[in-house]
Amino acid sequence: GAVVSQHPSRVICKSGTSVKIECRSLDFQATTMFWYRQFPKQSLMLMATSNEGSKATYEQGVEKDKFLINHASLTLSTLTVTSAHPEDSSFYICSARVPGRENTEAFFGQGTRLTVV
Amino acid sequence: EDQVTQSPEALRLQEGESSSLNCSYTVSGLRGLFWYRQDPGKGPEFLFTLYSAGEEKEKERLKATLTKKESFLHITAPKPEDSATYLCAVQAYSGGGADGLTFGKGTHLIIQP
């Protein structure tokens, strides 16, 4: 299957600072990537759809000014958590599909565990 | 609104004891139903995609089936390495292109030696 790489796998930051998470498609070009958040024992919740060369589409209830998404190239999307607070602590996961196969499986990154102290 | 409900939340089996996990869904138009395996602290690993009622897919000790309202993941003679959280997700038709997935909360499966 296709490979999606996410970095870093773990990050601890102080309250009020910003954190950037990278998601890369290693062996294919992804015009669309997805960002999810997962709380303990909860399901993955779609936060936003990242579109290469255009603005991201955010799900209802997700603050676009807090979770900045940039998809500047066909292989890289970044999620920046701005002015992080302890309630932003969570597991963030990105995914992508191989272009032309939009109704097939999405491939997920390894996830990033964010802890805000 | 698309909804996915998985049951049971947790399941503990003895090695070799077969069982089934359930995924009930409501979706405006099903584009695909996906099963993933997730190990602690990792991203989901793809297992199966099902597109239409009656479809079945198998991989080693796992078999996924689909009806118009639910999907089952059957585990035959499981081994301890099958211990993980199994996630079910649906993708609906929205009229657009690529769409995100709606996930259930998962079934936490433990296989005891």
Tens of pLDDT, residues B56-107: 999 999 999 999 999 999 999 999 999 999 999 998 876 544 578 899 999 9
The model's pLDDT over A11-59, given as tens digits with 9 standing for 90+, comes to: 999 999 999 999 999 988 988 899 999 998 888 999 999 988 888 999 9
Mean pLDDT value of segment A50-72: 91
List the single residue in B43, B89, B101 with the smallest CB-CB distance to A111: B43
Which residues 19-38 of chain A have a CB within 8 Å of chain B?
Answer: 31-32, 34, 36
pLDDT score, position A7: 96
User: What percentage of chain A carries pLDDT values higher than 90?
Assistant: 68
Nearest to B44 among A32, A104, A108 (CB): A108
Average pLDDT over residues A69-88: 94
- Subunit contact A44:B87, Cβ cutoff 8 A: yes
Query: Cα-flanking dihedrals φ and ψ of residue A88, to 5°?
Result: -85, -10
Beta-carbon contacts of residue A100 (< 8 Å; ≥ 6 apart): none
What are B's interface residues with A at a Cβ cutoff of 8 A? 4, 31-32, 34, 36, 41-46, 49, 51, 87, 89, 91, 97-106
CB B34 within 8 A of CB B89: yes
- To the nearest whole Å, the CA of B60 is away from the closest chain A CA by 17
Q: Mean pLDDT for chain A?
A: 92
pLDDT of residue A40: 85
d(CA B89, CA B73): 12
Q: What is the pLDDT of residue B19?
A: 98
Q: How confident is the model at residue A101 (pLDDT cuts 50, 70, 90)?
A: confident
Q: Which residues on A lie below 8 Å from B99 (Cβ)?
A: 49, 102
> DSSP state, A59?
P
Round to whole Å and give the CA distance between A53 and A32.
10
Which two three-digit tokens encode residue B79?
A: 């081994």
E runs forming strands in A1-117: 4-7, 10-13, 19-25, 32-38, 44-51, 57-58, 67-73, 76-81, 90-96, 107-108, 112-116
What average pLDDT does range A80-97 have in this prediction? 95
CA–CA distance, B4 with B102 (Å, rounded to integer): 7
How confident is the model over B2-53, as pLDDT tens digits? 899 999 999 999 999 999 999 999 988 888 999 999 999 999 999 999 999 9
Least confident span in A4-13, A73-82, A97-106: A97-106
How many Å apart are CA A88 and CA A101, to the nearest integer? 33
Look at residue A22 and give its three-state secondary structure: strand
Q: Would you state the pLDDT for residue A103?
A: 67
Give the up-direction half-sphere exposure of residue B31: CA atoms within 13 A in the CB hemisphere: 20
Q: What is the pLDDT of residue B43?
A: 94
| Chain A nearest C-alpha distance from B113 (Å) | 24
